[in-house]
Amino acid sequence: MSMPAHRYAIYLAPAEPFRTFGSQWLGRDADTGAARPMPPDMTPPPADWVKAPAHYGLHATLKPPFRLADGTDGPMLDAAARDFARGRETFDTPLALRALRTFIAWCLDDGGSRAMHALADACVLAFERFRAPPTTDELARRKPERLTPDERRMLNAWGYPYVFDTFIFHITLTGMLDAANEAAALACLSATGGKLLETPLHVDGISVFVQPRRGDDFIVARHYGFDGSTTDGAGAAYLQA
């Protein structure tokens, strides 16, 4: 029997062309865990800009990282993800580059998408039985004293401040930046990846990412297409018996 990963997460792994550019920008391919450098004709961002998001891999959060609850395991999560994804409707949504809580991200262009919000809400509910209760330290790392009352309510109920009414879809491209670096990162991303935003994001599946051991970078375990297809990543073994 295989060992469980330290943590699992339900993410949206952006489709092309966002996946390639975003992985190169972060310098790491979440599917393989290998380095993914920028092309020779493009200057990579400063390492401190991307260190934090590179740790999690290019993604948008649907169900944030969790330890498996007692009575659940990787194969059960795999089966649930297959059932959840199969038969869902694909959709497209435009993105925009924005500053969000002092970091830079691709966000929904119109500020909201019913289809995206419905997908995120459904993920929070469908995979809740797999989430072990957070420890006191895990809750403290969310800095509840800095959250709004609604965000604290979500943190206490769901282990994460930004779900349901407080959910904001975003694909994180930098860590926390001061004002000068925030402006520089916005300008750099606009210059190097601005044309990507002429194409809407195509949403046709969800993904399970894993953190094999405490402190490890997150890697893809498996992508689940709404058409019933699956594609394994480097962490697929953590979904197997």
| Domains in the chain, CATH or no CATH each | 7-239 (3.90.1140.10)
Tell me the pLDDT band of 2, cut-offs 50, 70 and 90: low
User: In angstroms, what CA-CA distances link 107 with 59, 104, 130, 160, 188?
Assistant: 12, 9, 27, 19, 17
Cα gap 163→218, rounded to integer Å: 21
Q: How confident is the model at residue 112 (pLDDT cuts 50, 70, 90)?
A: low
In sequence order, which residues have a C-beta less than 8 Å from that of residue 4 and are 6 or more positions away?
A: 68, 73, 74, 238
Q: In terms of pTM, does the model score above 0.85?
A: yes
Residues above pLDDT 90, as percent of the chain:
91
Average of pLDDT values for 74-80? 98
Q: Is the per-residue pLDDT at 241 higher than 80?
A: no
The three-state secondary structure class of 240 is coil
Q: What is the pLDDT of residues 163-195, one digit of tens each?
A: 999 999 999 999 999 999 999 999 999 999 999
Q: How far is CA 137 from the centre of its chain?
A: 22
Q: Maximum CA pair distance of the chain?
A: 51
Contact of 171 with 60, CB cutoff 8 Å:
yes
Q: Which residues contact 134 (CB under 8 A, 6 or more apart)?
A: 159
